[in-house]
């Protein structure tokens, strides 16, 4: 984990408002230093700053998809847990991502439920790290 008791979390989300909501929710529940990115490329550029956790949108409006970004993150920093958030409802996508090594997959479908699941998953991921 990061030094000085702060846990460094990267959020990769192309929806500014959703990213802001995620940041605020996380700040209420821990001593987190959060960096938000709208693209997978920008997250990967700064990956050597060693975040403790990455929260990654599956459907990025970017040349790099969430899956592409995950593969690069996992290849370069396999010990960093990655939680994927998605509006994707295809269960096979979730199964495939989990097989590839994603720590957790959470559907954005119901915001309140998604936020609770995300909080729980973040805690679990940080304890396992």
Domain 3-128: which CATH number of 2.102.10.10, 3.40.50.2300, 1.10.10.10, 3.40.50.1240:
3.40.50.2300
* Four-point Cα dihedral 5, 21, 52, 64, nearest 10: -160
DSSP state of 29: T
The reported pTM is: 0.91
pLDDT at 2: 44
Note the pLDDT tens digit of each residue in 62-82.
778 889 999 999 999 999 999
pLDDT at 78: 95
The tokens for 72 are 């690069």
Domain map (residue ranges) of the chain: 3-128
The percent of residues in the chain predicted with pLDDT above 70, rounded, is: 95
pLDDT at 4: 54
- Counting as low any pLDDT under 50, the low residues of the chain are 1-3
The tokens for 32 are 């987190």
Q: What is the C-alpha to C-alpha distance for residues 112 and 114, in angstroms, rounded to an integer? A: 5
């Amino acid at each position: 984990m990061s030094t000085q008791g702060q846990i460094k979390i990267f959020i990769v989300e192309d929806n500014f408002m959703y990213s802001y909501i995620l940041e605020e929710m996380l700040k209420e529940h821990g001593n987190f230093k959060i960096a938000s990115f709208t693209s997978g490329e920008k997250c990967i550029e700064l990956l050597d700053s060693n975040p403790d956790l990455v929260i990654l949108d599956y459907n990025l409006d970017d040349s790099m998809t969430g899956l592409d970004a995950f593969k690069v993150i996992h290849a370069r920093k396999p010990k960093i847990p990655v939680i994927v958030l998605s509006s994707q409802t295809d269960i096979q996508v979730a199964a495939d991502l989990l097989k590839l090594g994603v720590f957790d997959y959470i559907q954005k479908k119901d915001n309140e439920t998604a936020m609770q699941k995300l909080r729980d998953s973040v805690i679990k991921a940080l304890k396992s790290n």
